[in-house]
Amino acid sequence: MATEVKIPALGESITSGIIAAWHVKDGDQVEAGQPLFDLETDKITSEATAEVSGRVSIRAETGAEVEVGAVVAVIDESAAAPPRKAAEEPEKQAEQAPPAPGKVEDKPAHPPSVRRLAAESGLDPDTVAGSGKGGRVTKGDMLQAVAAAKEPGPAQAPEPAAAAPAAAGAERATRKKLTPIRRAIAQRLVQAQQTAAMLTTFNEADMSAVIQYRKTHQEAFTARHGVKLGFMSFFTRAVVQALKAAPAVNSQLEGDEVVTYHTHDIGIAVSTPKGLMVPVVRDCGRKSFAEIEREILAYAGKAREGKITIADLQGGTFTITNGGIFGSMLSTPILNAPQSAILGMHTIQERPVAVAGQVVVRPMMYLALSYDHRLIDGREAVTFLVAVKQAIEDPARLLLEI
């Protein structure tokens, strides 16, 4: 009996995907529940597993774009695995025999992010100790190994500078097809620019109070909750309070109707090797600082490891993006459609400012609110941004909800 392996339906808007990697080879014996391949769509990367045990016959190559419902492999259940006793004898001999010099034990297939880092750094992932399930090497393992490899040893002499490559015959450009995620990002950004009357308003916030709060309470907060107190929880709670002051900013346009949300499901933009993803933290107004920090940390890990789900990305009413982690001084963020507004955070920089008639140096951050002017007037936009500024400069307002 043969069982077809088909591309599953992952969401209403997902019609196809690209096979990013096969974890098995054609003709391999697989067990039910064993990972078969990684499928990359325009939203997520998911792992497909075998439904039955048997010998697999692969019908689609790595990199092929396949539609939902397409047959990419067949598992022959009649092809039984080798008898247990016969298979155990070679295994026992292999266990007893000493490993050959330089031989590395077989490891599970590496995910796409690990293979990409291996290609960029030249580091063999088989030489890296894996901390993932079943000994799999994760992206974090590779990043640590690459960083360690770049650090020179105490007695290591600096290598002579390599000669410049010859211009003749050198590759001057590379060409590759857009991934589904990058293609979707491109389409959504262009759509946002073309369909919304987008406008951006700016303000700046003195970060002194938040920085002092973190410095004073960081140790106790981390010990109590097991997670560090970051800036994002302050801004998330400040955004919730500002949305209450300016409800129009928490609205979306659907046809000729305006939908105003009374929940505060905030999308937090996360940068990944495959592009920007925006997982949603639900009901932020009802969550503590620790709960918000914990969810953001968990979503960031899932996004970077390719384990984010469609449900994690849907249903947001407002988005926060932090370009400051990359050193951005000022920018105009693009709307995350169908949402009508997005807050951009930027790098903290000490600048001279006037306080009570005196020029003092304070850690300042520029804030940018991009919004759809069809729904949100300047009054609501400025009201929102001023409310965020006030809450950040006086965090006690978040506790008192004023």
275, 182 Cβ separation under 8 angstroms: yes
The DSSP-derived string for 272-312 is ETTEEE--EE--GGGS-HHHHHHHHHHHHHHHHTT---HHH
Rounded average pLDDT over 174-185: 75
Give the pLDDT band of residue 167 (cuts 50, 70, 90). low
- Please name which of 353, 357, 332 lies closest in space to residue 207, comparing C-alpha atoms: 353
With 60 as the cut, is the pLDDT of residue 103 above it?
no
Q: Which of 28, 76, 265, 377 is the catalytic position?
A: 377
Of the candidate ranges 40-49, 152-161, 374-383, the one whose mean pLDDT is the lowest:
152-161
The pLDDT tens digits of the residues spanning 52-94 come to: 888 888 888 887 888 888 888 888 887 655 555 444 555 555 4
* CA 363/CA 262 separation, integer angstroms: 34
76 belongs to the catalytic site: no
Active site residue 225: no
The two three-digit tokens of residue 160, written as one number: 């002579």
Per-residue pLDDT, 211:
96
| Distance (Å, whole) CA 184 – CA 32 | 33
Q: Which domains does the chain have, with CATH numbers?
A: 2-76 (2.40.50.100), 104-147 (4.10.320.10), 198-400 (3.30.559.10)
Closest C-alpha among 230, 402, 260 to residue 341: 260
Please pick, among 217, 262, 283, 373, the residue that the annotation labels catalytic: 373
Q: What is the pTM of this model?
A: 0.64
